[in-house]
Amino acid sequence: MAGMKPYPAAEKHMTPMGFPPARVENWQEKGVEKMGEMLKKYRSLQVFMDICVKCGSCTDKCHYYIGTGDPNNMPVQRAELMRKVYRRYFTPAGKILPGVVKAEEFDEKVLQEWVTYFHQCSQCRRCSVFCPYGIDTAEVTMAAREIMDSIGVGHKYSTEIIGKVHTLGNNLGIPAPALKSTLQFLEDDILDNTGHEVRLPLDEPGAEVMLVPPSADFFSEPHIQSLIGYAKVFHQAGISFTISSFASEAANFGMFIGSYDHKRKIAKRIADKARELKVKRIVVGECGHAWRVAYSFWNTLNGPFDFLDPRYPAPQHICEFTHDLLQRGALTLDKEANDPYVVTFHDSCNVARASRMGPNPGGQFEIPRELIKASCNRFVEMDEETIREKTFCCGGGGGLLTDELMDLRIKGVLPRVTALKQVMKKDGVNFLALICAICKAQFTKVLPMYKIPMETVGGVHQLVSNAIVLGAKKGIV
């Protein structure tokens, strides 16, 4: 089927990443060898290969299964694509009785299944919520992609993007001068619209905070509206900040391809720049998987972050940052500014199921909601089976936000669309608030296919931006 299979990475993408330029000759052997290595390095993989009882609890939980009806998109069946190879080469049962336990050789057919179905998983972890053993198919997908990269079978989209981050510092490949002029343009824009000199500084040493947004925030709609929102919050709170041109990207596609080394290298440039610019805090913008990497992995990858101010969590999410200021009375929000909107909130997978905000479990659900409620008068929830820890992926996460997978993306968004349409009809919802750059890009592209206008999609800090009263300076109390 068209629009369901990834484009292969070419030599020019693979070589700079340290991957073989094309499929290696003895790929079967190498692939199995790599799997053996990974089983020893990742307890998750080893345990998840062994203990699935095929209870079926996860089978109907994946948005791609719901959208496509393809049995290979049932999470357990996706993992089985790797498990059957695991059994063949690493378990006595699979060696002796392959037919009984469904064990298979790592052959061309299996490899093609891997290419297809491990690129039909957005690593959203919804399946892991419902599994009695917490089996997280995202871990299996990451491992499969790493094995494929190691034998020279890569995905063009992710490898190309990682290449840009390593050389230019962001996924979009924006060079520093272009970034500089964009930010200046935005400053002028805010001045024209509000009469206030809100700054968006670039590479300014000695600032209090380094802001690391997803790079889509610089160029895409509606992402830019949230960037303006962050800037207004800093301005109003009187806290100096800077963006770094070489760390102008929170996203970390190293996670998508399962590569520890790339993940670490991509994250490292942010820690390095924070040291260099002598900032005291790092705040991460509205980006789901970036927040997972920052929150859960940075400390392990490049820590300790003991050069930062210990009074604040390192790193801090922009929602935590704004929420904290709000609680301390530093901001004034005029809810009426958002009166044209009836708002609902889409929990982004990586924030919901792979990270936290604030000191308490579940803060990642409450803090953004509190910000929204402080910024507008009308907020409603979608069906509770589709929010918080049970939230559905937008359909474009995990390195699948690419045009050649458009059919998959349109199908994968179905469960979210169903829940959204319900509240649109019942409560007149016309604003879908988000804190993820990938979700924003995916929704603006695919919701129109379901006759939902793309203007429905926006950031939480877009609402904050509309509501914030500039000049009503109270400072931090």
Contact map string, positions 347 to 376, toward other proteins, x by CB under 8 A = -----xxxxx--xxxx-xx-----------
Closest CA to 142 of 130, 132, 161, 155: 155
The pairs formed by 32-35 with CB atoms below 8 angstroms and a separation of 24 or more are: 32/85, 32/89, 32/106, 34/146, 34/147, 34/150, 34/151, 35/82, 35/85, 35/86, 35/89, 35/90, 35/143, 35/147
**In which order are the strands placed within the sheet that holds 316-317?**
241-243, 209-212, 281-284, 316-317
> For 135, what's the count of Cα atoms within 13 Å in the CB-facing half-sphere?
30
Residue 45 found at the interface with ligand SF4 (CB under 6 A)? no
Q: State the nearest-atom distance from the C-beta of 347 to other proteins, in Å.
A: 11
Report the Cα–Cα distance between both ends of the chain, in Å, rounded: 59
- Phi, psi for 398 (deg, rounded to 5): 65, 25
Query: Pick from other proteins, ligand SF4, none: which does 78 bind, CB < 5 to 8 A by kind?
Result: ligand SF4
In angstroms, give the least distance from the CB of 411 to ligand SF4: 12
With residues binned 3-state (H G I as helix, E B as strand, rest as coil), the percentages for the chain, rounded to 5, are 55, 5, 40
Dist CA 116 CA 8 (whole Å) = 11
Q: Which does 121 bind (CB under 5 to 8 A by kind): other proteins, ligand SF4, none?
A: ligand SF4
Selected binder of ligand SF4 within 54, 102, 196, 473 (CB under 6 A): 54
Partner interacting with residue 391 (select from other proteins, ligand SF4, none; CB below 5-8 Å by kind): none
Residue 375 interacts with, from ligand SF4, other proteins, none (CB under 5-8 Å by kind): none
> From the list ligand SF4, other proteins, none, which binds 100 (C-beta under 5 to 8 Å, kind-based)?
other proteins
Tokens of 105: 């050789």
Query: How far apart (Å, rounded) are the C-alpha atoms in residues 416 and 413?
Result: 6
Residue 155, SS3?
strand
Element (H, E) at 416: helix 414-427
* CB of 113 or CB of 370, closer to ligand SF4: 113
Select the span of 94-102, 225-233, 372-380, 454-462 touching other proteins (CB under 8 A): 94-102
Closer residue to other proteins in complex, CB, 12/95: 95
- Residue 355 burial (CB count, 10 A): 21
Residue 343, number of CB atoms within 10 A of its CB: 24
Q: Running DSSP on this structure, what letter comes out for residue 19?
A: S
Provide the mask over 64-83, with x wherever binding to other proteins is found by CB under 8 A and - wherever it is not: -------x--x-xx--x---
Number of residues that bind other proteins (CB under 8 A): 72
81 belongs to the binding site for ligand SF4 (CB under 6 A)? no
Amino acid 416 reads R
- Interface with ligand SF4, residue 55, by CB under 6 A: yes
User: Under rule CB under 8 A, which residues in 194-233 are in contact with other proteins?
Assistant: none
306-335 mask for other proteins (x: CB under 8 A)? -------xxx--------------------
Count of residues interacting with ligand SF4 (CB under 6 A): 29
Is there binding between residue 281 and other proteins (CB under 8 A)? no
Q: Work out how close the CB of 456 gets to ligand SF4 at its nearest, in angstroms, rounded to a whole number.
A: 24
Binding mask 378-397 for other proteins (x = CB under 8 A): -----------xx-------
Report, in Å, the least distance between residue 319 CB and other proteins: 15
d(CA 106, CA 82) in angstroms, rounded, equals 9
Q: Which of residues 339-398 bind ligand SF4 (CB under 6 A)?
A: 393
123 binds other proteins (CB under 8 A): no
Residue 23 φ/ψ region, left for φ over 0, alpha for ψ in the -120 to 50 degree band, beta for the rest? beta
**What residues between 135 and 174 interact with ligand SF4 by CB under 6 A?**
135, 137-138, 141
Type of residue at 294: A
**Residues lying near ligand SF4 in the complex (CB under 6 A):** 52-58, 61-62, 64, 75-76, 78, 121-127, 130-133, 135, 137-138, 141, 393
